[in-house]
Amino acid sequence: MFLLDVFQKQTKGRTLYEWFEQVILGIIVLIMSCVIVYSLFLASITLFEDLVSDIGSMQTSALKDTFGLFLTVIILVEFNHSIVLAIRQRSGAIQVRIVVLITIIVLARKLVLLDYTTATMETLLGLGGLALSLGGLYWLISNGEQRRRAPDSIVQ
């Protein structure tokens, strides 16, 4: 009932489209929460199976897979948090800055789990270029937001 009360308080004074947007975001939050719980459950089972098997024989690939599962759960939690933040701030759709930041986190996960012994030079250059591009895009978006917030200090 708590969520229903919060939803009713937040929908006062909204247009039909804003109300529709909030309902859709609420449904996405519920679905994402189920995916997070399911992913955490699978990651826990995988970790338990790895620990029950002989720890001395655990291979690096098994550890990377388990670590990758937990990084995926963290990324899902961050995405879910950004949706909840959009609902609380009444900002409507998810901001582009947040989407770029989550993409950077996903790329970092890929770089951490990448097997560099088998990766080709093209793959490494492509991932490096992607990282530079996303970093530059995030900087441009953040710098633009800071300039809009800052008062005009230059008198003409």
CA distances from 152 to 116, 141, 142, 155 (A): 48, 19, 17, 8
Question: Are residues 87 and 23 both part of a single domain?
Answer: yes
**In whole angstroms, what separates CA 98 from the centre of its chain?**
8
Question: Are residues 5 and 54 both part of a single domain?
Answer: yes
Structure tokens at 64: 């990377």
Question: Are residues 36 and 21 both part of a single domain?
Answer: yes
pLDDT tens per residue across span 4-62: 666 666 656 677 877 887 888 889 889 989 999 999 998 889 888 877 776 655 677 77
Question: Are residues 108 and 49 both part of a single domain?
Answer: no
Question: Are residues 24 and 82 both part of a single domain?
Answer: yes
Question: Are residues 86 and 32 both part of a single domain?
Answer: yes
| 9 found inside a domain | yes
Number of domain units in the chain: 2
What pTM did the predictor assign? 0.67
The residue range of the domain holding 124 is 95-149
